[in-house]
Amino acid sequence: MTNVLQNIPSVNELLERPPLRQLVERVSRTTVVGGVRHFLDNLRSEVQQAAADVELPSPGELAERIAQWITADQTLNLRPVINATGVLLHTGLGRAPLADAAVQAMQDIARGYASLEVDVTSGQRSERQADVAHLLRRLTGAESAVVVNNNAGATLLALAALAGEREVIVSRGELVEIGGSFRLPDVMQFSGARLREVGTTNKTRLADFAAAIGPQTAALMRVHASNYAIVGFTERAPLDGLVELAHGNKLLMIDDIGSGALHDFAAYGLGDEPVITTSLRAGADVVLFSGDKLLGGPQCGILVGREEPLRRIARHPLMRALRVDKLTLAALIATLRLHQDRERAEQSIPLLSLLSTPLANLQNRAERLAPQLAATAVVGQAEPFAATTFVGGGSVPTQELPTWCIAISPAHGSVDALAQSLRTGPIPVFGRIQKDRLLLDLKTLFPRQDIELVEAFQRLEPSPKEVENDAS
């Protein structure tokens, strides 16, 4: 055993070997030296613990193994991917992609100092949300606006500031859990507000709200059923009725609309989405929504509404804990500026351009790409395929959108294996599996990625084992 230990090459000797020398150039000397030491320590304890003598690999092979080990350790999961799932707001894939102008704004602000809380004219301290609030007021017609980390944060803050220690009345049918453990009842509890559930899962009438109002009530709240739909025998209290009831009892009306459509999305086939201005016009005092859903901006939660409740929200201590940084502000402001012109918004906000791409365009591209994919070694068959998809991301649960896909059957092996190898390439590709075929959906594929998609397939070679199995 001692012999084996003595035969382990030194760190310096290993660093001279080509795989590790190359790695030093690519990563850094410190990282590679640290990695080699760590690997050798592990190897020594393995040798010491082994019952019999272990056979050491040659120094060249050892260097190769260490280089692979260090490389794997340096590889991150987070990286850009091709979203061919057809789900436009895919929470797992980062929801809304940002407009070029938003990316540029973030970069400009990130690289140096910025007048975040200084008024450039007077040189005096200014309010960091002044610009964004101004834009939000103009776009929505609201008296006031506040931006926080996300919509879950907006809910927490609104309830803490407006209903802390008091009661909020919510319909039982709207006590939702929205992906990744956002459970409205839990968030409400943290806020200090007491939840008063009324009605039944499928039916809640205005009278149910009215009967629950008492001296402890601070607000009525409505929550949009973003990721599910209760269909069939249902009844929901209308917003204008709720507003009248709330104001008649000197209560606030809080409306969590979820995805933040600035205008009617019916033209995109999403007619059921609540619209910010509609909610404000109906008289809601505070309207909450996410920045990275239908608004197509960065992750954030936006509160718009009447001046007085929003002032209380802005002054609450939680505001400091939930406030957004300069990069989010820069990206949101740039996105909102694009929204000032609807046509420009459609051209330059990725979510809106994907939503508004004509179906014929998707079909053309599917027809053009299918034979190119079919020509690669890993594909057995590839054909254009008309399908339907969803917006996703906790938006628009029931409205299907027509789309075009390329349906792929692998040349060898299972469709799961093909899907996995596509995910593990240098630019991971995500599709969806349906009836033993891999569907690549053009709805979420940017035209500039068409070529990248074909290249991702070309890089995949069937493993010799698979070819052998198929031949036998």
Ligand X SMILES: *Cc1c(COP(=O)(O)O)cnc(C)c1O
Residues engaged in binding ligand X (CB under 6 A): 150-152, 178, 182, 223-224, 226, 256, 258-259, 290, 301, 394
| Sequence-ordered list of residues with C-beta below 8 angstroms from that of 56, at least 6 positions apart, any chain | 4, 7, 8, 62
Q: How far is the CB of 456 from ligand X (least distance, A)?
A: 30
* Closest residue to ligand X: CB criterion: 258
Q: How far is the CB of 276 from ligand X (least distance, A)?
A: 13
Angle of CA points 258, 264, 268, to nearest 5°: 95
Q: How far is the CB of 91 from ligand X (least distance, A)?
A: 8
Q: How far is the CB of 288 from ligand X (least distance, A)?
A: 7
β-bridge mates for residue 301, sequence order: 148, 290
Q: Which is nearer to ligand X, 239 or 362 (CB)?
A: 239
Q: How far is the CB of 320 from ligand X (least distance, A)?
A: 18
Q: Which is nearer to ligand X, 351 or 456 (CB)?
A: 351
Q: Are the C-beta atoms of residues 291 and 297 closer than 8 Å to each other?
A: yes
203: left (phi over 0), alpha (psi -120 to 50) or beta: beta
DSSP letter for each residue of 398-450 = S--EEEEEEEEEESSS-HHHHHHHHHTSSS-EE-EEETTEEEEEGGG--GGGH
Q: Which is nearer to ligand X, 169 or 178 (CB)?
A: 178
Q: Which is nearer to ligand X, 135 or 223 (CB)?
A: 223
Q: Which is nearer to ligand X, 145 or 370 (CB)?
A: 145
Q: How far is the CB of 252 from ligand X (least distance, A)?
A: 17
Query: Residue 230 CA to chain centroid, in angstroms?
Result: 25
In eight-state DSSP terms, residue 58 is P
Q: How far does the chain reach from its first CA to its final CA, in angstroms?
A: 46
Q: Are the C-beta atoms of residues 146 and 310 closer than 8 Å to each other?
A: yes
In eight-state DSSP terms, residue 92 is G
Cα dist from 141 to 186, 240, 262, 272, 452, whole Å:
32, 18, 11, 21, 42
Q: How far is the CB of 404 from ligand X (least distance, A)?
A: 28
Q: Which is nearer to ligand X, 15 or 253 (CB)?
A: 253
- Here the tokens at position 256 are 């969590």
Q: Which is nearer to ligand X, 226 or 328 (CB)?
A: 226
- Here the tokens at position 395 are 């938006």
Distance, in Å, from the CA atom of 190 to the CA atom of 179, rounded to the nearest integer, reads 18
Q: Which is nearer to ligand X, 301 or 309 (CB)?
A: 301
Q: How far is the CB of 324 from ligand X (least distance, A)?
A: 12
Torsion over CA: 395, 397, 400, 406 (sign): positive
Distance, in Å, from the CA atom of 193 to the CA atom of 163, rounded to the nearest integer, reads 5
Q: How far is the CB of 58 from ligand X (least distance, A)?
A: 53
Q: Which is nearer to ligand X, 23 or 132 (CB)?
A: 132
